[in-house]
Structure 1
Amino acid sequence: MYASALSNGRLTRAEAENAPCLLDSSLLHPDPDDPDWLRPVLPSTALAQRLHPIEQEIQERRRLAVELTDVFEPFMAITTRAAPTTHAITLLEGELRINEAIERATAECRHEVLTVQPGGGRSENVLNVALKRGQSVIDRGITMRTLYQHTVRHSQGTLAYAARMTSKNVEIRTLEELIDRLMIFDRSVALLPARADRQDALEIRHPVLVEYLAKVFEQQWQLATPLVDEVPYPPSTDGITGVQRSIARLLIEGHVDEAIARRLGMNVRTCRAHIAKIAAALGSGSRAQLGYLIAQSGILEQDKPK
């Protein structure tokens, strides 16, 4: 209606009654020549009227900021002389801050880096960044141990990265299932995701928490298989491989395809292809029947310790 008033030069009072905000906001004013009509205020004038109180408030806030700075300046000088404090847990929001924290921890590291990298093969860009960062660690004589999932054994990019990183200071092992991503530097600082999409992270410097995470890493490390060795799956029986038995176990536990793929570090399409092969091997005609047949077949008994 304001646009119409600007285009036509005026607006009837009867029309304006449907939008009282036009008068309340002073976008229209009475026509001095005809009381039945209203004239529009120029947009530049209306804008200036609204900006003026905002600009006054900004000036007042700036004045207050200057006053507060003057008040706190003596205390800032005292703080700089005090011993620096370290935040036990810091939330890192966004990829930029996460990468900055990783670069800082890498630069400060002197002895050991422990990393957990769940999921399958990584992109070329991610591997290039990891290679550059890892090479700087190796060149300084720092030891590095990394845990991947078994699925990276089928990723040529990750295998090529592992081959280039091979040295007496670097060890790589794989495990079927891993905890979430984790990086530990000198057992003094740890970084782990704070959200499922990994766009936020936690930087942990509390000694007890970091040591706890290091123990979790060590437990998984003992269960893992060196990348150069064959995965110790039981032999394939009834046409069902060790990977497929792992999928079968998660199926009867009630996990959906997406959750199974995420836990085993494979994409959903690959996971569903394995499920189809399990169903074909057991003669299942439906998803509901598949769970029953898995439980009755005894194929999971082979994975139990004797």
Structure 2
Amino acid sequence: MAGHGTQEHPHGADRLCDAGERVYSRAVRRGRVPRRDAEPVPCLLELALLHPDPDDMDFLVPTAPQEVMTRLLRGMYDEVSASHRRVGSAVAAYERYAGLGGPVRLPAAAGEGSAIRVLDGLSRIQAAMDEATQACRTEVLTVQPGGIRREHELSEGLPRALALRARGVRMRDLYTHVARHGQGLLTYLELMGDAVEARTLDEVIDRLILFDRTVAFVPANADRTMALELRHPALVEYLVTVFERLWRLAIPLTAPLPDTGIEGISHRERSIAALLAEGHQDAVIAERLGISVRTCRAHIARLSETLGAASRTQLGVRIAQAGLDGPPGADGAAAVSGPGRGSRTAR
């Protein structure tokens, strides 16, 4: 069935066939559809856009559109992360081969002024960032993964940010929800005033900085000692699109996180429950949410206690029964899906 459906419906969740779109739309409007309605469009089951109704296996219920968007963005994140790893491996391989035959110069196409430039070393990265900061005149967009921002990191970037504000540059920043608990970020808010806005998500992509929608910087290896400077219009436009989609899903820093609707379970614990339901290990969950493994395990222990689960297997069942296996914060995301600028926040 899976292979047959894939041949007849060769598409992803981002572009359904006409028949699949009709059935899925009907399922969203009515809350469920008979299983026989989905037989001509196996792509809906293969892409997990429909799944069995636990109360009546003859019917299928739709995956929420918000969850579909979350999956697509998560797929983008995985693709970008994989590209970063491949670039890092390629640069490391070049260095090994270059060392075998003495000094080797890079081809002109990969040198200064090219559309994609590899910046090797923190000093070179900083110099390129300073140059882009000085040239920036209208807008800076950033994605800041990880947890609470260290105060010394914010202090180091404060002079550049104040210089941008003095030129009337607007700044928008995305963080994980955990960053809300950092006093340094709140202090930064007061210093920058209306020049900077920030929103938060359960998860964000790897670090990204965009200047005037013309140049972007992304890490090229895991320890961020190498970076890519991107000036190719198509690549920069793609990254801007990713940022804007995440921005629409995010929640203003000054707005409260949406309530989970389940007594005793916090928003963060719901986020952890959704990732557990996907089969992720503790270390992966901690990294994606910007918390420590120890904190992650403490939340999992509280989840188990609240849901009455005696084992990890039983916890997975309880999570599904409680409806915690979907993406959290859908209501909060919808509340800010309108105009892009609304809250005075910090980066």
Q: TM-score, normalised by structure 1?
A: 0.68
Classify 1:180/1:304 alpha carbon distance in 2 versus 1 (closer, same or farther; 3 Å).
closer
Classify 1:216/1:302 alpha carbon distance in 2 versus 1 (closer, same or farther; 3 Å).
closer
- The letter of the residue matching 1:190 is A
Query: Greater shift after overlay, 207-216 or 153-162?
Result: 153-162
| Deviation per residue, 1:153-207 (Å, 9 max, x gap) | 111122212222222x321111121111100001110000111222211100101
Give structure 1 regions of 4+ aligned residues with deviation exceeding 6 angstroms.
none
Match of 1:145 in 2: 172
Kept in 2: contact 1:152–1:159 (CA 8 A): no
* Residues 1:155 and 2:182 aligned together: yes
Match of 1:89 in 2: 116
Match of 1:47 in 2: none
| Deviation per residue, 1:199-244 (Å, 9 max, x gap) | 2111001011011101111111111111111122433x14212211
* Residues 1:136 and 2:151 aligned together: no
Classify 1:265/1:301 alpha carbon distance in 2 versus 1 (closer, same or farther; 3 Å).
closer
Gaps of 5+ in 1: 1-64, 66-78
Classify 1:238/1:115 alpha carbon distance in 2 versus 1 (closer, same or farther; 3 Å).
same
Q: More relative contact order in 1 or in 2 (CA 8 Å, sep 6+)? A: 2
Match of 1:273 in 2: 298
Equivalent of residue 234 in structure 2, options 208, 212, 217:
208
Superposition deviation, residue 292 in structure 1: 2.4
Alignment size in residue pairs = 223
* Residues 1:217 and 2:243 aligned together: yes
What secondary structure sits across from 1:141 in the alignment? coil
What secondary structure sits across from 1:166 in the alignment? helix
Match of 1:257 in 2: 282
Separation in 2 of the partners of 1:295 and 1:119? 27
Match of 2:309 in 1: 284
Superposition deviation, residue 98 in structure 1: 1.2
Classify 1:305/1:105 alpha carbon distance in 2 versus 1 (closer, same or farther; 3 Å).
closer
Classify 1:233/1:92 alpha carbon distance in 2 versus 1 (closer, same or farther; 3 Å).
farther
5 Å matches for 1:67-82? Answer: none
Equivalent of residue 194 in structure 1, options 220, 226, 229:
220
Kept in 2: contact 1:92–1:98 (CA 8 A): yes
Superposition deviation, residue 302 in structure 1: 8.8
Equivalent of residue 128 in structure 2, options 101, 104, 111:
101
Match of 2:143 in 1: 116
Classify 1:122/1:96 alpha carbon distance in 2 versus 1 (closer, same or farther; 3 Å).
same
> Share of identical aligned residues, percent?
52
Separation in 2 of the partners of 1:201 and 1:117? 15
Match of 1:5 in 2: none
* Residues 1:182 and 2:208 aligned together: yes
Gaps of 5+ in 2: 1-102, 332-347
Equivalent of residue 296 in structure 1, options 292, 298, 321:
321
Superposition deviation, residue 108 in structure 1: 1.0
Pairwise CA RMSD of aligned residues? 2.3
Classify 1:243/1:224 alpha carbon distance in 2 versus 1 (closer, same or farther; 3 Å).
same
Separation in 2 of the partners of 1:101 and 1:114? 16
